[in-house]
């Protein structure tokens, strides 16, 4: 199983965190853990004021959970551990003292939508359509729901969840406040992201830190909430329905 990579560069107080996996930038547990650890380290890095998060390539931003690893789960303990990877990542991004600018260049599914929602500000390209396909494969977007609902509201989350086979455009995502801006292409997206990052890096870092706390007020119970959600998903992934759906979908 290819575990993927996380690569971080720091320049002018801006950290760029780029993740990659050959299967459309999907997330096996090892990659989730590595990315979580990176946000934890940047939280404590006094030389960093702003973080830009992106994935490698010019196609999919993130395909969500690794189907290969989902199929390999054969106990509830393994299932909970896998979904806690998403819970831990969301929580590390939430707790990170640095503002996170997300760059979404292409299609994103499931956990990838949760990743975008956990950013403080997202700039996307017109190709960045989204989908929550979890119902289609027999589970549900339980772990990422708090992050997604915080950004787009419960009604829009319900729509995404129920329309599990439908893509929703970048424009739709912007109208629902998942994306702050949508650009014509990836090049313009990147330019806009770093323009904003450079501007923010020139502000008082203490003011940025305190404002991030304000942005995330009311989420202090997420450690417990996301753990409970991971338990729900850990049960569902073991069902015959889900195993069969994952196998068919993979083929």
Mean pLDDT by 10 residues, the chain (251 residues): 88 98 96 98 97 97 94 94 98 98 98 98 98 94 98 98 97 98 98 98 97 98 97 94 84 67
> How many Cβ atoms are within 10 Å of 174's Cβ, its own excluded?
17
Q: What is the pLDDT of residues 58-111, one digit of tens each?
A: 999 999 999 889 999 999 999 999 999 999 999 999 999 999 999 999 999 999
Q: With 0.85 as the threshold, say if the pTM is over it.
A: yes
CATH of region 5-188: 3.90.226.10
At residue 251, the pLDDT reads 67
Q: What is the pLDDT of residues 157-174, one digit of tens each?
A: 999 999 999 999 999 999
Supply the DSSP string of 34-101, one letter for each residue. HHHHHHHHHHT-TT-SEEEEEESSSS-SB--B-HHHHHH--SHHHHHHHHHHHHHHHHHHHH-SSEEE
Check if the beta carbon of residue 239 is closer than 8 Å to that of residue 138: yes
């Amino acid at each position: 199983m290819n575990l993927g990579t996380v690569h971080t560069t720091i320049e002018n107080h801006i950290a760029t965190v780029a993740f990659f996996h050959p299967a459309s930038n999907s997330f096996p547990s090892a990659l989730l853990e590595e990315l979580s650890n990176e946000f934890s380290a940047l939280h404590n890095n006094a030389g960093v004021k702003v973080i830009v998060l992106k994935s490698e390539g010019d196609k999919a931003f993130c395909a969500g959970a690794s189907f290969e690893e989902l199929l390999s789960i054969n106990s509830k303990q393994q299932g909970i551990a896998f979904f806690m990877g998403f819970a831990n990542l969301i929580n590390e991004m939430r707790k990170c003292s640095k503002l996170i600018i997300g760059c979404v260049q292409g299609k994103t599914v499931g956990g990838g939508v949760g990743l975008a929602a956990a950013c403080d500000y997202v700039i996307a390209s017109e190709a960045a359509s989204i989908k929550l396909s979890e119902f289609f494969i027999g589970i549900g977007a339980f772990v990422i729901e708090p992050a997604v609902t915080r950004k787009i509201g419960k009604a829009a989350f319900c729509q995404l969840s129920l329309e599990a086979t439908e893509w929703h455009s970048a424009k739709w995502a912007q109208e629902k406040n998942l994306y702050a801006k949508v650009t014509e292409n990836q090049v313009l997206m990147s330019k806009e992201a770093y323009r904003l990052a450079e501007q923010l890096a020139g502000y008082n870092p203490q003011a940025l830190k305190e404002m991030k706390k304000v942005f995330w007020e009311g989420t202090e119970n997420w450690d417990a909430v996301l753990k409970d959600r991971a338990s729900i998903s850990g049960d569902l992934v073991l069902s015959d329905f889900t195993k069969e759906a994952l196998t068919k979908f993979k083929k």
